[in-house]
């Protein structure tokens, strides 16, 4: 009799001799910025980062702990934050970025 387990990340593994064996080769996730690193570079707590992104703090925790993976619009937003965090946070806050050339 085959024993199977559904993992939190959606993988199905076979249990044999107390060890887990994937039923199919793991499909690698597309490269994404590491959420914890982005948050730390911005010098924000998990709560502050969640508020700025407009998501629950549990979402940030799940991303950082690897329980969930950012997808779709969240993945795109995190990629932009990796390149221009100040601009993104200003846009999300509804303020225009400072333009020193306009002074």
| CATH at residue 51 | 1.10.260.40
- Name the more confident of 94 and 60: 60
For 2-55, the pLDDT digits (tens) are: 888 887 766 788 899 989 988 766 555 555 568 999 999 999 999 999 999 999
Q: Looking at the domain assignment, is residue 16 inside a domain?
A: no
Q: Flag whether 29 is in a domain.
A: no
Note the pLDDT tens digit of each residue in 59-76. 999 999 888 988 888 888
How high is the pLDDT of residue 30? 52
Domains of the chain: total: 1
Q: Domain containing 74: what range?
A: 35-95
Question: Is 40 contained in some domain?
Answer: yes
Q: How far apart are CA 43 and CA 32, in angstroms?
A: 19
C-alpha angle 55/46/35, rounded to 5°? Answer: 80
């Amino acid at each position: 009799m085959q024993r199977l387990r559904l993992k939190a990340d959606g993988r199905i593994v076979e249990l044999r001799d107390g060890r887990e064996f994937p039923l199919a080769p793991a499909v690698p996730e597309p490269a994404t910025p590491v959420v914890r690193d982005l948050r730390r570079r911005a010098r924000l707590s998990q709560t502050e980062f969640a508020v700025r992104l407009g998501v629950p703090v549990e979402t940030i925790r799940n991303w950082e702990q690897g329980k969930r993976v950012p997808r779709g619009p969240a993945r795109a937003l995190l990629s932009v934050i990796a390149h221009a965090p100040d601009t993104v946070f200003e846009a999300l806050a509804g303020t225009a970025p400072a333009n020193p050339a306009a002074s």
